[in-house]
Amino acid sequence: MRSGLWAICLSLGLAACTAAPSSDVVRQPANVGDAKIAALSYKNSGQYDRDLTAVAAKAQSWLTRRSPAVARPALVLDIDETALSNWPVIQRDDFGRPIGGPCDLAADAPCGWAAWDQLGVDEAIAPTLALYRAAIAAKVDVFFITGRPENQRMATERNLVTAGYAGYAKLYMVPDGAHFPSASAFKAPIRAQIEQQGYTIVANVGDQPSDLAGGHAEKAFQLPNPFYRVP
Ligand SMILES: [Mg+2]
C-alpha cells in the first residue's frame, strides 16, 4: 500500500506528497478550547470585574456630570452581562449557549438558557448596580432594553428587583415569536421611541456592540464580555 502510494507520489513529483505547509495552518480561526481557557482565566483572575468597574465608573462620571444639563435625562441598560450576571450558567454550559432544554441546578448537566432565565436567580453586576443607584439618586429615569422575550417578563422583573434594580422606569422585551436580524435592529428603534417621549438618553450601556449600534444615545459604554456574542 505504502510503496504504491510512493509510486504515485514519485509520478506526480515529491512536492505533491509533502505535509500541509504551515501557511495553511495559520489561516485557521482561534482554537475554541484555548479561548475558553483564556476566558475562564480572565474571569477567575478578577480582571473581568476590574474591567467592568472601570467602564461603569466612566459611565457614572459622565452621567452625573451631564444629566443635570438636560431636561429629561435617561439611562438605558441592557440586562444580560450588563445589569445581571449569568456566570453560573455560562460556567455550567462550558461557554455553550443552548436556548432550549431544562435547567436542573441539582443535576450535573448543562442548562437551557430560557429555563435558566425563568429561574430568575441572577445576581447583579455590582458596578452596573452602582451606576443604576447613582442614576436613581440623580433623578435619571432608567430603561432596560433586553433581547429576552416577553414570556420571561415576570421572572425578569422579579429578578431585577431582587438583585437591587427597583424603581426603574420601564423594561422593554422582544415580543414572543418576533425575530430581528440583530439586537440593534430591535434596540435602536426603542431608544428612538424613548427620545420621542422627550427624554435625552445620556448614556447607553451594554456588553455587546449590538446593544450600542444605531445611535440614539449621547454616549455608549461597552462592558467586557468575552464569553459569548450576540449579533
Ligand atoms: Mg447583554
Q: Beta strand pairing status for 200-206 and 123-124?
A: unpaired
**How many A from CA of 205 to the centre of ligand 1?**
9
**How many A from CA of 57 to the centre of ligand 1?**
18
pTM metric for this prediction:
0.88
Q: Which three cell numbers stand for residue 8?
A: 504515485
What does the pLDDT read at residue 19? 54
**How many A from CA of 196 to the centre of ligand 1?**
24
C-alpha to C-alpha distance for 79 and 213, rounded to whole angstroms: 16
What does the pLDDT read at residue 3? 43
**How many A from CA of 99 to the centre of ligand 1?**
15
**How many A from CA of 11 to the centre of ligand 1?**
58
Q: Which three cell numbers stand for residue 2?
A: 505504502
205: number of Cβ within 10 Å: 27
What does the pLDDT read at residue 12? 45
The DSSP element (H or E) to which 221 belongs, if any, is strand 219-222
Strand partners, 204: 76, 220
C-alpha to C-alpha distance for 161 and 80, rounded to whole angstroms: 15
**pLDDT string in tens for the chain (231-residue length):** 344 444 444 444 444 445 555 556 678 899 999 999 999 999 999 999 999 999 999 999 999 999 999 999 999 999 999 999 999 999 999 999 999 999 999 999 999 999 999 999 999 999 999 999 999 999 999 999 999 999 999 999 999 999 999 999 999 999 999 999 999 999 999 999 999 999 999 999 999 999 999 999 999 999 999 999 999
Integer Rg of the chain from CA: 23
**How many A from CA of 223 to the centre of ligand 1?**
9
**How many A from CA of 69 to the centre of ligand 1?**
29
**How many A from CA of 148 to the centre of ligand 1?**
10
**How many A from CA of 180 to the centre of ligand 1?**
15
Q: Which three cell numbers stand for residue 106?
A: 441539582
Nearest to 206 by CA among 43, 87, 75, 36: 75
Give residues whose Cβ lies within 5 Å of ion ligand 1: 78, 80-82, 207
What does the pLDDT read at residue 27? 84
DSSP label at residue 107: S
**How many A from CA of 174 to the centre of ligand 1?**
13
**49-86+122-222 CATH:** 3.40.50.1000
